[in-house]
Amino acid sequence: MNFTLTEEQRMLRDLCAQIAREKILPVRAELDESGEFPWDVVKVMAASDIYGVYIPEEYGGLGGGVLEMCIATEELSRVCSGIALAFAASALGAYPILLFGSEEQKKKYLPDIASGKKLAAFALTEANAGSDAGAVETRAELSGDSYVLNGTKQWITNGGEAETYTVVARTSKGTGIRGISAFIVEKGTPGFTFGKKENKMGIRASATRELVFQDCRVPRENLLGREGMGFLAAMRTFDLSRPGVAAQAVGIAQGALDEALKYARHREQFGQPVASFQGLQFMLADMATQVEAARALVYLAARAADAGEKSMAKLSAMAKVFASDVAMRVTTDAVQVLGGYGYMKEYPVEKMMRDAKITQIYEGTNQIQRAIIASAVIKESAAKEKGE
């Protein structure tokens, strides 16, 4: 896909591939087993300036956009999507600040995130608020100079490892999306603790924890935007981060496809490489086509975002739903291609299959994505008809 990338983007891609090959590949199996957080890889990525690729230069970043964030995420995910989340989830946590932060807030928090000195995390999900994001119950009550946070967030990626959290909480009474707001909360703030670390099916090198707020006082100036903008902040954030999840899925799928191809070329049965059997060839063809199509959608969405496209919801949702479904299909097929070996932990594809599943679930389940797409295209159709 060289002709579609600039020289800087190719440089970024090659450097991420080098990091993945030299630093992630040797440790991915071990970290998948132990669930330990990949701090060594974080340090290498930070030293190589990866954390700042999507952050503007004036805040210490390299001034790239969503496409750069996607390129990095995909390359890292080809080797291990769990470890890649140490980067990608930090971007998710940083986007609310980038999009809705005041100048002071951006100057205060973005440089450390751009340098990789501090990781970020985004906290929306709760026990009763998954797809129904508006059902957030964590409260943030204004008291003098601070907001007092009470409640529990669930399944937060980078939870416990990140220093900077963008947290969505309810500021006004009553239900619904208009009553919630977004805040920046720093690790170590009294009243902010972490719950247990989750034991997951996949992306096990990524840290997933509960965040527990008990009378946690957050300075007033840590409110992002205005009260009531929380839902909007979350949705706009997802518009940019969903292509990242899609890129992660494309990376997983590509990694699995590469393993399947390599195996099929070497493995011999009935006196020939199994890659010479049409049954497998057709599988590999379909896998490759799907990955290419998914990547194209990711790039389309990323480029649209970087070009300033205002209504990103549909494209982002399309990229995410398609790429994640592709990842699940391709990794399952990859395990199949490797046969018995594919089922064994000694070979990397079973991990990729376990890793792929989450991409169909988080940052908006694929059911929610479809609802968003349907809503968007129906509106577009109505608007078109009106215009005729």
Partner 1 sequence: MNVVVLLKQVPDTTDVRIDRETNTLIREGVPSIINPFDMYAIEEGLRLRERAGGGTVTVMSMGPPQVEASLRDAIAMGVDDAVLLSDRAFAGSDTWSTSYTLAAGIRKRGAFDVVLCGKQAIDGDTGQVGPGVAELLDAPQVTHVRKIELGPDGVAEVERLMEDGTDVLRVRPPAVFSVVKEINEPRLPSLKGKMRAKKAEIAVWRAADLEVDARELGLDGSPTRVVRIFAPEARPGGKVLSGTADEVVAELAAELAAVVKGSQRG
Annotated catalytic sites, by residue? 363
Are the C-beta atoms of residues 19 and 27 closer than 8 Å to each other? no
Tokens 């490797």 sit at which residue? 338
Q: Which stretch binds partner 1 (CB under 8 A): 19-27, 179-187, 196-204, 317-325?
A: 19-27
Contact between residue 294 and residue 326 where contact means Cβ atoms under 8 Å apart: yes
User: Residue 62 or residue 361: which is nearer to partner 1 going by CB?
Assistant: 62
Contact with partner 1 (CB under 8 A): which of 4, 6, 22, 30?
22
Q: Which of 36, 49, 112, 141 binds partner 1 (CB under 8 A)?
A: 49
Q: Which of these segments, 10-18, 29-37, 185-193, 351-359, binds partner 1 (CB under 8 A)? A: 10-18
To the nearest whole angstrom, how small is the minimum distance from the Cβ of residue 15 to partner 1?
6
- For partner 1, the binding residues in 50-79 under the rule CB under 8 A are 50, 53, 62
Q: In sequence order, which residues have a C-beta less than 8 Å from that of residue 145 and are 6 or more positions away?
A: 219, 220
How many residues of this chain interact with partner 1, rule: CB under 8 A? 16
**Distance (Å, rounded) from C-alpha 41 to C-alpha 56?**
23
CA atoms of 388 and 382, how far apart (whole Å): 10
- 6 in contact with partner 1 (CB under 8 A): no
With contacts defined by CB under 8 A, name the span among 42-50, 89-97, 173-181, 276-284 that binds partner 1: 42-50
Check binding of 1 to partner 1 (CB under 8 A).
no
Residue keyed to tokens 């994001």? 133
The Cβ of residue 339 has, within 10 Å, a number of other Cβ atoms equal to 13
Name the minimum Å distance from CB 61 to partner 1.
10
Q: Does 18 bind partner 1 (CB under 8 A)?
A: yes
Q: Which amino acid is at 151?
A: G
Answer yes or no whether residue 41 interacts with partner 1 by CB under 8 A.
no
Q: How far is the CB of 52 from partner 1 (least distance, A)?
A: 8
Binding residue (CB under 8 A) for partner 1 from 1, 30, 47, 176: 47
The minimum distance between CB 48 and partner 1, in angstroms, equals 5
Say if residues 185 and 149 touch (Cβ distance below 8 Å).
yes
Closest contact distance (angstroms) between CB of 169 and partner 1 is: 36
Candidate ranges 46-54, 182-190, 211-219, 377-385; the one touching partner 1 (CB under 8 A)? 46-54
Choose one: 48-56, 147-155, 297-305, 365-373; the region binding partner 1 (CB under 8 A). 48-56
Closest CA to 317 of 233, 241, 203, 215: 241
Closest distance to partner 1 from the beta carbon of 21 (Å): 10
Residue 81 Ramachandran class (φ > 0 left, ψ -120 to 50 alpha, else beta): alpha
3-state helix, strand, coil split of the chain in percent (to 5) is: 60, 15, 25
Distance separating alpha carbons of residues 131 and 114, to the nearest angstrom: 30
Cβ 363 to partner 1 shortest distance, Å: 26
Q: Which of 1, 4, 8, 102 binds partner 1 (CB under 8 A)?
A: 8
Q: Of 5, 15, 135, 288, which one interacts with partner 1 (CB under 8 A)?
A: 15
Q: Rule CB under 8 A: choose which of 5, 29, 48, 219 binds partner 1.
A: 48
Identify how many contiguous H helices and E strands the chain contains and give both numbers.
Answer: 11, 10
- Restricting to residues 308-337, which ones interact with partner 1 according to CB under 8 A? none
Look at phi and psi of residue 318 and say left if phi exceeds 0, alpha if psi is from -120 to 50, else beta. alpha
Locate 60 and state its tokens. Answer: 């210490």
Q: How far is the CB of 301 from partner 1 (least distance, A)?
A: 23
- When binding is defined by CB under 8 A, the residue of 19, 88, 287, 297 that contacts partner 1 is 19
12 touching partner 1, by CB under 8 A = yes
- 166 with 99: CB under 8 angstroms? no
Closest to 124 in 3D by CA, of 244, 242, 233: 233
Q: What is the DSSP letter of 160?
A: T
Q: Does residue 168 contact residue 151 with C-beta atoms inside 8 Å?
A: no
In the bound state with partner 1, the residue whose beta carbon lies nearer, of 15 and 361, is: 15
Which residues make up the interface to partner 1 (CB under 8 A)? 7-8, 11-12, 15, 18-19, 22-23, 44, 47-50, 53, 62
